Amino acid sequence: MSDPTAPPQQQASPVCPRHPDRVSYVRCQRCSRPVCPDCQRPAAVGVQCVDCVREQAKTMRSATTIFGGRVTDTPTVSYVIIGICVLVYVLQTMSPRLTSEISFVPVLGESEPWRFLTSAFAHGNVTHILFNMLALWMVGAQYLERLLGAARYAAVYLISAIGGSVVYLLMSSPPTDVATRSMWLTPAVGASGAVFGLFGALLVLNRHLGRSSGGMYATIAINAVLGFVLPNVAWQAHLGGLLTGAALAAVISWTTPRERRRWQWPGVVAVLAVLVVLAVVKYAVSADLVLLG
């Protein structure tokens, strides 16, 4: 028999598993373990512990945009591109030789193919880089990167930059004699081709979504006119970027339905492959012209 005069046994106070020195009478709604204030996370009903929140996050799929990219509120790719362009411009001012090392020159593109892309991160003057970075921020960071997701947005930007260089190459030819001034020997720099690629992508994607792009048509028209009026403007690269960006956006929008989604990245790679083939053929034909000359 129990002794009614014996003192009752004291029950141990519940403690947080992660912080055993802390008493907690609040329990996780998922695992029912005690959880201290530092380990509590708000839930639909009550609170959950950090361990349960972490395990639940592993089983949840990331939210995606309409085109299949991961939803993001921070335009990281745009920040990185702007940072690289600014850094390269600072290095250009410190060492002018850098510009000649990374600019795109058709005569050098075959032996130094990195120039097709590196030229998009160099600029000729302050106005040049300010205009391009402003356009990149307004169209890319504020709209397209959030619409496409980081990976697809980066692909559109970088491949459009290459497309601008390829069309600049296609519209140049080796000089017929040493006295002839030719685009074949003229360097081109700037992110304009890539930015125009964003313009082209925006037009196609907005059309797919049923959104208006009236302001962008006006922007493209104004820049097209300036390309013929102002000196030293590589309008050929603008055209190449615009067409490439539009082509990439057409591939992305066409493969938006889930049954076609598996073809999205192969389609993007196919656009890049077409650019490579065009450049290879151009150099082959140009070599024959030089030999005949």
pLDDT digits (tens, 9 = 90+) for 103-147: 999 999 999 999 999 999 999 999 999 999 999 999 999 999 999
Q: Is the dihedral of CA 221, 247, 107, 128 positive or negative?
A: positive
Whole-number pLDDT of residue 62: 59
What number of H helices and E strands is found in the chain?
A: 12, 2
156 three-state secondary structure: helix
Q: Which helix (H) or strand (E) holds 49?
A: strand 47-49
> Which of 128, 238, 253, 286 is labelled catalytic?
238
155's CB contacts (< 8 A; 6+ apart) are: 248, 268
Give the pairing type, strands 40-42 and 47-49.
Answer: antiparallel
Q: Which helix (H) or strand (E) holds 146?
A: helix 145-148
Q: What is the pLDDT of residues 56-90, one digit of tens each?
A: 766 656 567 788 778 777 899 999 999 999 999 99
> Which of 24, 103, 192, 286 is labelled catalytic?
192
What are the residue ranges spanned by the domains of the chain? 15-60, 76-292
In the annotation, is 192 catalytic? Answer: yes
Give the architecture (CATH level 2) of 76-292: Up-down Bundle (1.20)
Q: Tens digit of pLDDT per residue, the chain (293 long)?
A: 455 555 555 567 888 888 888 888 888 888 889 988 888 887 766 788 888 888 876 665 656 778 877 877 789 999 999 999 999 999 999 998 999 999 999 999 999 999 999 999 999 999 999 999 999 999 999 999 999 999 999 999 999 999 999 999 999 988 876 555 678 999 999 999 999 999 999 999 999 999 888 888 888 887 777 666 666 778 899 999 999 999 999 999 999 888 898 999 999 999 999 999 999 999 999 876 554 44
107's CB contacts (< 8 A; 6+ apart) are: 174, 184, 185
Report yes or no: 169 and 193 within 8 Å, Cβ to Cβ. no
> 89: phi > 0 → left, psi -120 to 50 → alpha, else beta; which?
alpha
What pTM does this model have? 0.77
Of all residues in the chain, the percent with pLDDT exceeding 90 is: 55
In the annotation, is 238 catalytic? Answer: yes
Give me the torsion for CA of 131, 133, 139, 140, rounded to 10°. Answer: 160
